[in-house]
Structure 1
Amino acid sequence: MNLESIMRPLRNIYVFACVFTFTLWTNIQPTVEKEFIANFSNSLLTNVPKNIPVHTHVLDLSHNRISGFSILEFISLSDLQVLNISHNLIIVLDFSVFIFNEDLEYLDLSHNNILKVYCRTLVHLRHLDLSFNRFTALPICWEFGNMFHLEYLGLSATIIRRSDLRYIIHLQLHTLFLTLEDFSLYEPQSLTALNIKNLHIVFAANQNFSFSLLYDGMSTSENLEIVNLSYTLSYKDFLSSLTLVENIKTKALMLDNVDLQWIIILKIFKLIWNSPVEHLTVRNLTFRGPVRVLNEYEFLPLLSSLEHLISLSDSMKVLTLEHVRNKIYYFNQEILYRQFSEMNIDSLTIYDAYMPHMLCPNRTSSFQYLNFSHNALTDELFQDCRTLPDLKLLILKRNKFESLSKVSFMTSHMKSLKYLDMSNNLLSHDGADTQCRWAESLTELDLSSNQLSDTVFECLPVNIKKLSLQSNQITSVPKGMAELKSLQELNVAWNRLSDLPGCGGFPSLEILNIEMNSIITPSADFFQSCPRVRELQAGKNPFKCSCELQAFIRLERQSGGKLFGWPMAYVCEYPEDLRGMQLKDFHLSELACNTMLLLVTALLLTLVLVAVVVFVCIYLDVPWYMRMMWQWTQTKRRAWHNHPEEQETILQFHAFVSYSERDALWVKNELIPNLEKGEGCVQLCQHERNFVPGKSIVENIINCIEKSYKSIFVLSPNFVQSEWCHYELYFAHHKLFSENSNSLILILLEPIPPYIIPARYHKLKALMAKRTYLEWPKERSKRALFWANLRAAISINLPTSFEANEEQCDVTPTSSISQYAND
């Protein structure tokens, strides 16, 4: 706790409270916002606008060029509660203008050119700001004494007398804000009669401030803030007016923008240390040397006097020095460090002072909080220092520390240390050869923004509970290197980690921040290995949206909201076509990501496909057709190699006759006699007389079909039961499509029921369904027409060499090949 948190600027507190109420209401009722808040700020206005809604509660006319206003401009605004007319050009102020604004509570007229005020009591006014105007004396009228609700009052003047404040001494003011530009006179003890809690005084820059006003301010309010303390005259003139008196009330004091000679600063500190001030904050402090050089004999007594006061002071608890600039170069600064180190206070902050070193206290110190941020401290700080047993918080960020092991030894004797901030330094750790020894009490450690690598896990406090390693060069968390059983919160954001670390060495881990690393595919078993983790911050990593990431996405659904920043911070980076997609919108099927399932599915589909193909092949007798095609191809190939000159086939027969052996009697007794004898002799090719001995049956069938103009198939139930008839039909059908001819003649000798035709004879079924066939008539009277139609279907002129010997039609074969079984 320091003075900055207690003595923050007070003049706007009430402003925020008033505006916040109306802003909150307007957020709940956005449809009526314009009706209750009117904002004309920065509108280049020269007069109060006439179009202000009559129900306006908050009116902002700041930062314009308004030089005056009248009662007519506010008479209709009966509900007005907040009016901000600061930063304008108003010269004269008449409070009677607001006589009809009975609800007005907040009025800001600061930063104008007001010289004269005509007063009137505004009963409900709580906040009145007349600071940064051109008043000579304080513009306090007797009517101010009737503003019993007034809590904040801002004033400005160049002269302050006791009589100027007599009308408000009975008011219970919360804050008095004084701006003293071109200040020339202050009558001592003018402020002491006031009853205020917070006093804020602003002097003009480069203007000599009044010590009497400083002392009276400390004697008037509990919280005092003074801005712009400078003194350009001789320090002897200042010291001659310096007298110490009692009755100081201030508990928290802030001095901002202090530019004084070192000897004057010492005198002021002497006054403060001899007072009840508990919290002192000095910001933007510049201390200079006197006009003449202050020799060592004059300087040391001042320090000794200050040291004596410091050692005796029991009230001071917190000292904060921020942005300190030293423009004295001729004294030993170690003397000053010694004064700071021996202070009998709880909290010391020296921020941004270019301080290169700080001494270890000579005796047991009461320090509980030390903040030396933004300085030039090195590894030599507090080495082997045993006089800080009560120190609990130590902040050393933005310095020049380099060795982590030396930092650990620095804390080894701090038995009460709980929090250490070493962020934004140059820390590194060599490795296992360098030992570390931390304070056993240390539970929170901030090592962010350093140069630490994986070896940092060899040098960590064993009892640490909260650890920050953000913005370092860590690539992995080595297993077995660190055994931090008490670690509950770990921050490794902005490093180079490629995966989520396990909790083998961190069994108590509850919060992990691993954002902005190089994690492409995080492990899905993180929560299994880290069962106590209740919050994981893993967003803003370059996730690769693939099958491996599916398990992590499912992990989010099962974690019950443990992923911090989901889904906005979890976005695909790879592949390019998915960049920018949130992980919650990325989905792949289980089949695409499960290799075993994919293999099993592919195998099953293959087996099913093979089974279907086998079934179809068997059902359609594909193997049989393949054998036939193979035999036909082999026959054509052999014919090509053996007799290439005969490849151009010459027709030798009118028709090839295919029939079942069981129908041979009808062929021999009816078909052959009626076609080969008599007028219009037809030369038939019959296997018994025309097959060539020595050739295979298939080859003979193919040759006979190719040498015949037509192929006659005698269909009957016996035919469909014959394997060889099926061969002959197949080859004839093949010729039909290959030569695009009409060479098939079907003779239905007996009716064939469809159910007796084997399934593989689908070609026969197709032919009988699509082609016209000749049916053998049972009546003899119709047979003459049957033969005539058959002769007409076969009619063709064969080559001359075969027509010349018509006697062959009457000759029965004298020799034949062995009968082949058509059945």
Structure 2
Amino acid sequence: MFRFPAVMTCIQVTVKRRTRIIIQNMNTYKAFCVSLLLTFMFLPSTFGKFCTGSQQHTNLSLVTQLYLSQCNISSLRESDFKLYPNLQTLDLSYNLLEEVDFSVFQFNSLLENLDISHNKIFNIDCRSLTFIKGIKSLIMSHNNFKTTYLCQEFGSLTKLEHLGLSSKMIGKNDFANIALLELKSIFLDLKELQGYYPGSLRSIKTEKLHIILPQQLFITIFSFFNDVFTTTRTLEISQFMCTDCPSNLLSSIAKTSNVTTLILSDITMPWNHMALVLGGFWKSSVKHLVIHDLTIIENFEYESIDVSEGSLESFHIENVILLVFEYSGDHPLNIFSEMFVRKMTLSNAELTYFVCPIYPSIFQSLNLANNGITDGVFQQCRSLPVLQYLNLHNNKLEKLQSLSSMTSTLDFLQHLDVSFNSLHYDQNGHCAWSENLVFLNLSKNKLTDSVFKCLPNSIEILDLSRNQVKSVSKDLKMLTALKEINLALNQLSNIPDCSYIGGNLMVLNIDSNVIFSPSAEFLQSCRNVEKVSALNNKFVCNCEIRAFVSSVQVFKGEMVGWPASYKCEHPEDFRGIILKDFHLSEVSCNIYLLIGIIISSVLVVILLVFFTCKYFDIPWYLKMIFQWLRRKHKVKQENLPEIQRTKHFHGFISYSQKDGSWVRNFLLPNLEKDDGAIRLCLHERDFVPGKAIIDNIICCIEKSFKSIFILSPNFLQSEWCHYELCFAEHSLFGKNSDNLILILLEPIPQYLIPKKYSKLKALMKQRTYLEWPKEKAKQGLFWANLRGAIQINLPVHEGEFENETDFNNH
């Protein structure tokens, strides 16, 4: 059974379609199963349905990968994996297993990968191997096996490709039972190896052999290495610490080896021993030498070795740790510039400089990434005639102009990577690049817009990502060969106009800039571009974005990630909306259309108001109401006691005799009522008999609150009307000109008014007068306005009503 600690490190279950579930804090295997079932009960239906309790076995049958590493498991039993018939990968590493019976996997016929490394296993049941016949990878290293003996049943594992073992002793026929198996890789953990029978490893057939060397050398170490170097064509040796080992241990053996690819990882030795190793492998069967994690101890002096001829084609050194810092004479690492090898890598080797070879080199590829190299490297270096690939990634280069002059002597240089440096261009001086340079990686530097003035004309692929470029200048148009440009992670505020770029551009990357409102004209200028990527920009959803979306719809090339990955960032109300689904009305975006609609609406309203006023004659009503309100206001300001003492009539009526019928039929009936509230003075009724007419006129005007003139063409022909107007003008106008009321009975053209009525003409221009409406509907407002103008409380004088009665009777 499984035995777990109180808190388990981790349990991972991987089901089909790469869905992973992590379950923690279980104390027993039973609790693990229950929790696993509960997880599947609520697992989202990537499988089509929600899982339920009645589907437990079906759910567990979906599990293909199970990770039980570091769970303190001490034993296994047959029923442990019965519920996982589709299990393909099982990791039981770093547990407490001591014995393994593979019959526990009798229900897991699809099991292909089994890792039981880093346990305490000292014995396996060979007969149970028949239950894992389909196994492809079996890792049993880092256990307590005393011998590497593989029993006869291992020969039946015909699908086995990767095998991991560990042992303290390698006997004569330990690998004989797998001699017919053609494995892809064998891993041997032999750090505790104490003895080796010569020839044992020669029976192995594998494409790659990875060995962790013993910490202490044994008597048959030379035989061991001879067998190792003849067993495989790809050999990896790890954790080799040579402080007092024979200096020719590896170099002498290399002469008879069959290895073409040698990998040395986690190696510790003095520099003079390392130089002998390099010299020994230089003229061996090894074509590709890779050294990872080299630690130099004890001495660090320049060693001259013959590297002029040999079979080595590529040499790779990565992660050099120097524990010795003193040397005399030439720098010990100068030996690398002297090597005649086509591909050289010195990565993370603490280099501050790389010497230009003294003699013409055959370097075709040179990788000096992750060092401290400065601008002086390869200046005026003419001994690299065939160099095509140069990688100076993550160094300390600063001047772009110095970099260009460095390449000018590298006639065949095609690929240059100077990313992750501190390059800048100050526009001082001319940039001279290699004429054959087609790939240039300038990413992660300090370059600004000026960089476009210092680029090679032959470039086809240009990477300017992670810089400080804000705009693309027309200088880029000179790069007629440019096919691909990467401007991601800069400060571009708009997509560059492709008309500024050479006509052969095929790929444009502007991801992660500060593009808010890309213009529609951009894609129109990029008709020949095959792929555009503008992901991770903070688009502002406004009217401009509509035009951009429309241009994308008709774009013939590929817009990477469109439409799902292009979303609104601003304003807040639209955040997260896909640009394709963002819509605004045409009116809100077309200013000319909006102005047209507003002007049209205003015109319609004006015309509507005009015709309404015209039809209902609203101005006339408004004018009458205004006059009525004005009169009311004036009446309140009058000196009421003075008026009541001196005035007998509300109004003196001046009119032509020819308009008398209108006065009698309309004016008097609507103003004078039986209650005597308004009293009018008419010459037919109220003039004193025997008294001069002029005296009567003057007297009546003085005794009247208002003087009302009925204006018409007839009025202008009456001499008496002219006199009455003159008297009223002279007697009232100077005192209170508001006591004069003009009623226009009929329209009077200005040109018909005689010169003697010049005052009347002026009054009609300056004063508001009442117009008699022909329409009956308006006449009520007319009388109300007129009554309001003259109505005031006056005392009744003796004899007035009698005169009025006589006039009415007459």
TM-score, with length taken from structure 1: 0.73
Please give the residue correspondences for 1:394-413 in structure 2 after superposition, counting only pairs within 5 Å: 394-413=390-409
SS at match of 1:812: helix
Counterpart of 1:191 in structure 2 is 201
Note if 1:554 corresponds to 2:605: no
CA contact (8 A) 2:773 2:782 kept: no
Which of 100, 116, 122 aligns to 1:115? It is 122
In 1, distance between residues paired with 2:554 and 2:464?
Answer: 28
Which of 423, 434, 442 aligns to 1:439? It is 434
326-335 vs 128-137, which moves further: 326-335
* Shift of residue 594, structure 1, vs aligned partner: 2.2
SS at match of 1:525: helix
In 2, distance between residues paired with 1:428 and 1:622?
Answer: 78
* Shift of residue 321, structure 1, vs aligned partner: 0.7
SS at match of 1:269: helix
Note if 1:249 corresponds to 2:300: no
Counterpart of 1:764 in structure 2 is none
367-376 vs 123-132, which moves further: 123-132
Residues 156 and 56 of structure 1: CA distance in aligned 2, closer, same or farther (over 3 Å): farther
* Shift of residue 111, structure 1, vs aligned partner: 1.7
Residues 558 and 114 of structure 1: CA distance in aligned 2, closer, same or farther (over 3 Å): same
Counterpart of 1:219 in structure 2 is 230
Residues 628 and 208 of structure 1: CA distance in aligned 2, closer, same or farther (over 3 Å): farther
473-482 vs 454-463, which moves further: 473-482
In 2, distance between residues paired with 1:285 and 1:447?
Answer: 30
- Aligned-residue RMSD, C-alpha: 4.7
SS at match of 2:263: strand
Which of 590, 600, 624 aligns to 1:594? It is 590
SS at match of 2:478: coil
Residues 271 and 94 of structure 1: CA distance in aligned 2, closer, same or farther (over 3 Å): farther
Residues 799 and 84 of structure 1: CA distance in aligned 2, closer, same or farther (over 3 Å): closer
Counterpart of 2:325 in structure 1 is 329
Counterpart of 1:485 in structure 2 is 480
Which of 157, 161, 165 aligns to 2:171? It is 161
238-247 vs 463-472, which moves further: 238-247
Counterpart of 1:90 in structure 2 is 97
Counterpart of 1:496 in structure 2 is 491
Counterpart of 2:781 in structure 1 is 730
Please give the residue correspondences for 1:607-756 in structure 2 after superposition, counting only pairs within 5 Å: 607-629=603-625, 631-632=627-628, 685=680, 695-697=707-709, 723=774, 729-734=780-785
Counterpart of 2:287 in structure 1 is 278
Letter in 2 for 1:218: F
Letter in 2 for 1:476: S
In 1, distance between residues paired with 2:180 and 2:461?
Answer: 52
CA contact (8 A) 1:628 1:727 kept: no
Residues 507 and 733 of structure 1: CA distance in aligned 2, closer, same or farther (over 3 Å): farther
Letter in 2 for 1:108: D
Please give the residue correspondences for 1:566-605 in structure 2 after superposition, counting only pairs within 5 Å: 566-567=562-563, 569-575=565-571, 578=574, 581-605=577-601
CA contact (8 A) 1:368 1:390 kept: yes
CA contact (8 A) 1:485 1:505 kept: no
Counterpart of 1:772 in structure 2 is none
TM-score, with length taken from structure 2: 0.74
* Shift of residue 387, structure 1, vs aligned partner: 2.5
Letter in 2 for 1:367: F
Which of 505, 510, 517 aligns to 1:514? It is 510
In 2, distance between residues paired with 1:286 and 1:412?
Answer: 36
In 1, distance between residues paired with 2:529 and 2:567?
Answer: 22
Residues 390 and 668 of structure 1: CA distance in aligned 2, closer, same or farther (over 3 Å): closer
SS at match of 2:174: helix
Residues 607 and 50 of structure 1: CA distance in aligned 2, closer, same or farther (over 3 Å): closer
SS at match of 2:289: strand
SS at match of 2:175: helix
* Shift of residue 810, structure 1, vs aligned partner: 3.7
Map Cα deviations across residues 490-533 of structure 1 (whole Å, 9 max, x no partner): 22222233333223441322322233333333333112333322
Letter in 2 for 1:493: A
* Shift of residue 808, structure 1, vs aligned partner: 1.6
CA contact (8 A) 2:252 2:280 kept: no
In 2, distance between residues paired with 1:515 and 1:531?
Answer: 19
Counterpart of 2:363 in structure 1 is 367
Map Cα deviations across residues 626-655 of structure 1 (whole Å, 9 max, x no partner): 443455566667777886767899998999
Please give the residue correspondences for 1:302-451 in structure 2 after superposition, counting only pairs within 5 Å: 303-304=303-304, 306=305, 308=306, 310-314=307-311, 316-332=312-328, 334=330, 336-431=332-427, 433-451=428-446
In 1, distance between residues paired with 2:108 and 2:675?
Answer: 136
Counterpart of 2:142 in structure 1 is 132
SS at match of 1:732: helix
Please give the residue correspondences for 1:68-83 in structure 2 after superposition, counting only pairs within 5 Å: 68-71=75-78, 82-83=89-90
* Shift of residue 93, structure 1, vs aligned partner: 2.8
In 1, distance between residues paired with 2:628 and 2:84?
Answer: 112
CA contact (8 A) 2:407 2:413 kept: yes
* Shift of residue 350, structure 1, vs aligned partner: 0.7
SS at match of 2:253: coil
Map Cα deviations across residues 69-96 of structure 1 (whole Å, 9 max, x no partner): 3456568977766544333212123445
In 2, distance between residues paired with 1:351 and 1:169?
Answer: 39
Which of 47, 65, 74 aligns to 2:72? It is 65
Structure 1: gaps (5+ residues):
1-21, 708-719, 744-797, 816-823
Letter in 2 for 1:170: L
Give the number of the structure with larger relative contact order, counting CA–CA contacts within 8 Å between residues 6 or more apart.
1
147-156 vs 391-400, which moves further: 147-156
Identical aligned pairs, as a percentage? 34
Residues 241 and 572 of structure 1: CA distance in aligned 2, closer, same or farther (over 3 Å): closer
CA contact (8 A) 1:207 1:230 kept: no
In 1, distance between residues paired with 2:229 and 2:781?
Answer: 123
CA contact (8 A) 1:40 1:62 kept: no
Counterpart of 2:8 in structure 1 is none
In 2, distance between residues paired with 1:69 and 1:470?
Answer: 54
CA contact (8 A) 1:377 1:399 kept: yes
Letter in 1 for 2:783: A
Letter in 1 for 2:709: I
* Shift of residue 425, structure 1, vs aligned partner: 0.9
Letter in 2 for 1:167: N
In 2, distance between residues paired with 1:634 and 1:662?
Answer: 31
In 1, distance between residues paired with 2:645 and 2:566?
Answer: 78
* Shift of residue 418, structure 1, vs aligned partner: 1.6
Map Cα deviations across residues 706-764 of structure 1 (whole Å, 9 max, x no partner): 99xxxxxxxxxxxx99649877532334589x89xxx9xxxxxxxxxxxxxxxxxxxxx
Residues 368 and 183 of structure 1: CA distance in aligned 2, closer, same or farther (over 3 Å): same
In 1, distance between residues paired with 2:264 and 2:801?
Answer: 143
Letter in 1 for 2:227: D
Letter in 1 for 2:17: N
In 2, distance between residues paired with 1:449 and 1:145?
Answer: 54
CA contact (8 A) 1:476 1:497 kept: yes
Residues 814 and 580 of structure 1: CA distance in aligned 2, closer, same or farther (over 3 Å): same
